Chain A
């Protein structure tokens, strides 16, 4: 009996450690990056379901870029540009040609997964030439508990923190944020006041694409430092769900991303000590969450309650009553 207790004790300490929290941050970062980008797009009234596709393309492009140039920042830059370029396809379809946002975003995701599986074949199994490694700050990194959690992360983790802080300032404290939110709530009101509704939406969607691209590159350059087919594993869908459950607020979505980071690393640890949660169950989770999130915004009453941008999913046409 006593032996069992000890064994349980050992497992618990192994699971709930500073290492768990530190790795939760690492695993939460790609979600944070993608989520914040998507918040901009949705706040301006455009739902982009292509996050998963833009992320996976970002992961592959970042990886290839690093292996060609040898510079991790070049990898990030290329990934950001590719994510951005893909988002412009969605922007063109949903803003200019006013097609169904759900369909064009979804198509983007399918496209991204397909094209990376094809192009990425010859890069499988290779290690990245360079990548992002945890930094070491003398003194700070050696501190107990906070050291490994806060001061021994890679640069992109800090970038994510920074972007969350700046974004919540921009969205809620500046006139740009006011314009973005106005365009997502009542584009006509913004138009009447001389705001370029189309440009605003394009830029927001573009920024979302950039962030999704970087989030993908994070996976292949900072988290694993290799290219694995389908390596995003539904994180793009989780990001969309987090935008909605975080009620379009970067801070809440940040908290949600960390929560998912904890679950993710917890699950890895459970596997390590031999307690396996059925793999398929975990695989399913992103999609279940996305379904829940999307059904909540398509239920008008519920969408209103959680504060969904009123013009989300609605293309703007000047002079047409909404």
Chain B
């Protein structure tokens, strides 16, 4: 597939250039070409007027290009110093001049306001701190032009503000920065110039002052966009899902949930906000039965389901849109049809004695494909060939078709483009109207604010506060996400 189609892009010294586009527009691919991770089939790169071929990151580094990927490339079992040392050619192969590097890190972190603990292993640092290590790492390599791929997706609003300050400071020192994002507010608040990519093509480049959010959105999506999903007021229903003093361990054996209590009413969306890794994933897993609780109870319609298997929970009306749709939500090597009946193949509608009633299943499958607008060549197409948005539609179709009473949705729109996101959000709101109790876990604070009735904020395995969405202030929620309240 063509990810970049005759793209022209330029970066000036001392500017922040916002690269805006939907997921899959080709932003990351473009930057990976610059960094030598991918090779272009056509076209060339000029660096300070000279032709520059970047066959490997080595070449890019030598020319002062640094790249902070969206998924950090740090060695989790090393500390910051060791992570920097890996690439520090000047240190020589045998020496380990740890102290020198440590003081260099301290100096850079002081200069640019990048607070890091260089003695602690990366996996024990917060995501924001890991990102700062990434930036420092790039600086230590002698970077002059820094590419940041979706740097804010893992930050709290406060951390984002901090990051922007750092970037401003760096630009003043003559650095050049490419800032990749799909968030309009951010690009408007930090970039000097903006380039919009759509479907692999540059559709627009201009100075920030000459444009506005609405225009950028139109450029990005290719049509007018409605920003806020319609959400009507509903009366208070009775409590359907209740969690009391829940404790659970994470994969590392550390306590991930430390006494979580919450409830969700009929026809209500409870949004769980929080920076990744504060126990949200574990909470969803414990509620859906994929992880054992080490203490506390989960009630569904007043019934204690703490010890129930996932299947018993499903039979009681629980549906789940897991965080990892590819590995947990779907069997991607199986067909659309097979995935659609994964959950209810046991139902008597689909069985004739020992065998599956092919006709009934196909009928069911066609109905879902058309009503959920799943773009697939055929029922028998393996799910891995569908786009992310269509995979999510399929997953949603399967979960909703079981007429659940409780829906646990984890990052339901992550990695989806604007169109698919809109659709999924609309479907969630429709389920809410139907009286489903929805627990929505998302890292996208805007999504939480737009969809939820109430917002609970998780920090270090606890709910640190719950607010009515109508009255919620972004700053207030952000502060709680950082553990500030």
Task: Tell me how far the C-beta of B84 lies from the nearest C-beta in chain A, rounded to whole angstroms.
Answer: 9
Interface on chain B toward A: helix, strand, loop, or mixed SS?
A: loop
Q: How far is the CB of B110 from chain A (nearest CB, A)?
A: 23
The B-contacting residues of A in range 191-211, CB under 8 angstroms, are 191-196
Contact status of A176 and B75, CB under 8 A, knowing A193-B86, A195-B86, A319-B37? no
Kindly state whether residue A225 has any CB partner on chain B within 8 Å.
Answer: no
Name the A residues within 8 Å of B86 (CB-CB). 175, 178-179, 182, 189-190, 193, 195
**Segment at the interface with A among B92-100, B192-200, B214-222, B274-282:** B92-100
Question: A98: CB under 8 A from chain B?
Answer: no
Is the Cβ of B83 less than 8 Å from the Cβ of A189? yes
Interface: B89 (CB within 8 A): yes
| Per-position binary interface string of chain B over residues 266-289, scored 1 when its CB falls under 8 Å from any chain A CB and 0 otherwise | 000000000000000000000000
Question: CB of B32 within 8 A of chain A?
Answer: yes
Q: Which residue in chain B gives the minimum CB-CB distance to A176?
A: B93
Give complex CA distance A318, B87 in Å.
17
Q: Is the CB of B73 within 8 A of A181?
A: no
- A237 CB to nearest B CB, Å: 28
Q: Known: A178-B86, A185-B76, A189-B86. Is A194-B92 also a contact (CB below 8 A)? A: no
**Interface 9-residue window, one of B53-61, B449-457, B459-467:** B53-61
For A192, what are the chain B residues with a Cβ–Cβ distance below 8 Å?
Answer: 35, 57, 67, 69, 73, 87
Task: Say yes or no for A122: interface residue by CB 8 A criterion.
Answer: no
| Residue pair B75, A186 in contact (C-beta under 8 Å) | yes
Shortest distance in angstroms between B90's beta carbon and chain A's nearest beta carbon? 10
Interface of A is mostly: helix
Most chain A CB inside 10 Å of its own CB: which residue of B62, B73, B141: B73
Interface size class of A (residues with CB under 8 A): 20 to 34
**B251 interface residue per 8 A CB criterion:** yes
Nearest chain B residue, comparing its CB with the CB of A169: B94
Q: Within the assembled complex, what's the spacing in Å between the Cα atoms of A321 and B73?
A: 11
Nearest chain A residue, comparing its CB with the CB of B251: A301
Does A121 touch B at the CB level, under 8 Å?
A: no
- Residue A52 is within 8 A (CB to CB) of chain B in the complex: no
A97 lies within 8 A of chain B by Cβ: no
8 smallest CB-CB distances across A and B, nearest first, come from A193-B87, A194-B58, A189-B73, A192-B73, A185-B75, A174-B94, A186-B75, A182-B86
Can you name 14 A-B pairs with beta carbons within 8 Å? A174-B93, A175-B85, A178-B85, A182-B75, A190-B75, A192-B87, A193-B61, A193-B86, A194-B57, A194-B89, A301-B251, A304-B252, A318-B37, A319-B32
Known contacts A190-B75, A194-B61; can you find 17 more A-B pairs with CB under 8 A?
Answer: A175-B94, A175-B96, A178-B78, A178-B82, A181-B75, A185-B76, A185-B78, A189-B83, A190-B87, A192-B69, A193-B137, A194-B57, A194-B87, A196-B56, A310-B76, A318-B37, A319-B38
Using CB atoms and an 8 Å cutoff, list the residues of chain B in contact with chain A. Answer: 32, 35, 37-38, 56-58, 61-62, 67, 69, 71, 73-78, 82-83, 85-89, 91-96, 137, 141, 251-253
